[in-house]
Amino acid sequence: MLHILTSSPFSSRHLETCLRYSSHEDEIILLQDAVLAALNHSESAAMLAAFKGKVYCLKEDAEARGVLDKLTQSVEIADMARFVCLTSEHSQQINWQ
């Protein structure tokens, strides 16, 4: 399953809820303000690092927020083409808004 997160961890609890209901077989992609969850040395970055599945961060959204060089190494940077591939690879998706 692909979990798509779009809201900042500073304004919602969607990340925590998503991680609670995700399995190691799931993948998560951070879009829009959710890319802030991957900021180095943050509580949310620690939660993402503990997740056993794969976590991606959309490059374009991280660049737009000026945080691309401040992201934890536990997330993989994905461009828009990779995001499209992820959505086509996963027939089941949850959009956490």
Q: What is the DSSP letter of 26?
A: -
CATH at 32: 3.40.1260.10
What three-state secondary structure class fits 56?
strand
Q: For residue range 35-66, what is the model confidence (pLDDT) as tens digits? A: 999 999 999 999 999 999 999 999 999 999 99
Cβ-contact 87, 61 below 8 angstroms: no
What three-state secondary structure class fits 40?
coil
| Residue-level pLDDT at 79 | 98
What predicted TM-score, i.e. pTM, was given to this entire model? 0.95
pLDDT at 97 over 90: no
Cα–Cα distance measured from residue 91 to residue 69, given in angstroms and rounded to the nearest whole number: 32
Cα–Cα distance measured from residue 14 to residue 64, given in angstroms and rounded to the nearest whole number: 22
Structural domain boundaries enclosing 66:
2-96
